[in-house]
Amino acid sequence: MSQQQINLSPDLKRLQDEGFEIEIRNGGHLIVHHIPYVNAKCEIHYGKLIAPLTLNNNIALRPSDHVIFFMGSYPCHNDGTEIQQLRHLNPNQTLFADIVLNYSFSNKPPNGYNDFYEKIVRYTDMISASAKSIDNTVTAKTFKPILSNNFNDVFTYVDTNSSRANINFINAKLNNQKVAIIGLGGTGSYILDLVAKTPVAEIHLFDGDILLQHNAFRCPGAVGIDDLEKQHYKVEYFASVYSKMHKKIIAHSVYVDDSTLELLNGKTFVFICVDSNKARNKIIASLLQKGIDFIDVGLGVNIVDDKLIGTVRTTTGTSSKNDHLSTRIGNIDFDDNEYATNIQIADLNSLNANFAVIKWKKLCGFYQDLIGEHHTTYSINASQLLNNDNTTV
């Protein structure tokens, strides 16, 4: 994939053809290895230039800014004094396990940089001039091929959003997970929308229902009438939509019950988005037995005085914290109760999904978690958010 991107972009191809050691790392970062420079002791060392790529359809566009990152000690003149015209910031930020952004440099031509070739060559010349004055044989053009072994191929195209924000190292905490979403009727489909934008290894969808017209009004995107006419299973429809972005989406057009619980074996995390307490409690019991962490979501919405009131619930269960579940998740179904409602609204489904995915990312160490809440409720009419069953004081 990296070589394909290089071949598609004339400026990157030119850098490679002229002998620069270039690598495209997952998330859309251009890394140029073996950049000669002089350190404060007047010694010749080699650093790396790093630039987030601006891509469209895996083709490099004009650089979005003139700043570039550098891995190494600060470049100096041949007398050991620092090259001040490069100075910008020193973030010392880990980008990948083996790549640290020690410094950022700023040197802007009057009209900016037309392409990445121009940007890399200009910074290389400025950084390496002093090294060449000491030893005229040093060069950044070694013609050594660099192939990335870290490119995350779960996406059909590169995640340049993470690279622009320099959070690939944090994003990598979600790698290798096999996530299951049970129920795609409302909240589950929004959870899929969010999880499909992460580098998890696999996303398994479970639902035995057909996609019907009312589902279109409580799921992300716009379902076409032709899709409704085809009577797809929900999981098959959503898998086809999100497979345009994430390669590893597996559809299971079944309900999760006694006969299919074994399909959850080997999953690392499960989102439970079902409207049956009987079903959810059976699933929860099985997950606890298997040692699989999960989040259960729920909406309780009612009509009062021609307005809607209700609560959005997000309940987390893990191997280390599950003693609260019996008091937070109901055991009785009210399907035959004429006063029971199953009101679902897209914005509430979306909100419920966001709470769930944010909590999952906290568990993964993606977001900081100061209180370790395992049960969250949001009351619509009071705009009140409550966190309970905390593990951190």
pLDDT digits (tens, 9 = 90+) for 295-326: 999 999 999 999 999 999 999 999 999 999 99
Scan for tokens 């995640």, then name that residue: 159
Domain boundary among 142, 166, 190: 166
pLDDT digits (tens, 9 = 90+) for 217-265: 999 999 999 999 999 999 999 999 999 999 999 999 999 999 999 999 9
The answer on 102 and 15 residing in a single domain is: yes
Radius of gyration of the chain measured on its C-alpha atoms: 26
pLDDT digits (tens, 9 = 90+) for 179-230: 999 999 999 999 999 999 999 999 999 999 999 999 999 999 999 999 999 9
The CATH number for 344's domain is: 3.40.50.720
Long-range Cβ pairs for the range 167-171 (8 Å, 24+): 168/25, 168/26, 168/27, 168/29, 168/95, 168/96, 169/94, 169/95, 169/96, 169/97, 170/366, 171/27, 171/198, 171/199, 171/366
Scan for tokens 């979005």, then name that residue: 64
> Does the pLDDT at position 335 exceed 60?
no
Query: CA-CA distance, 286 to 273, in Å (whole number)?
Result: 16
Count of CA atoms in the C-beta half-sphere (13 A) of 28? 26
Specify if 381 maps to a domain.
yes
> Does the pLDDT at position 135 exceed 70?
yes
Query: Beta partners for 104?
Result: 69, 89
Query: Beta partners for 226?
Result: none
Confidence of residue 393 (pLDDT cuts 50, 70, 90): low
Specify if 222 maps to a domain.
yes
Q: Which residue range forms the structural domain that includes residue 365? A: 176-388
* pLDDT computed for residue 341 by the predictor: 60
Specify if 393 maps to a domain.
no
Check: pTM over 0.95? Answer yes or no.
no
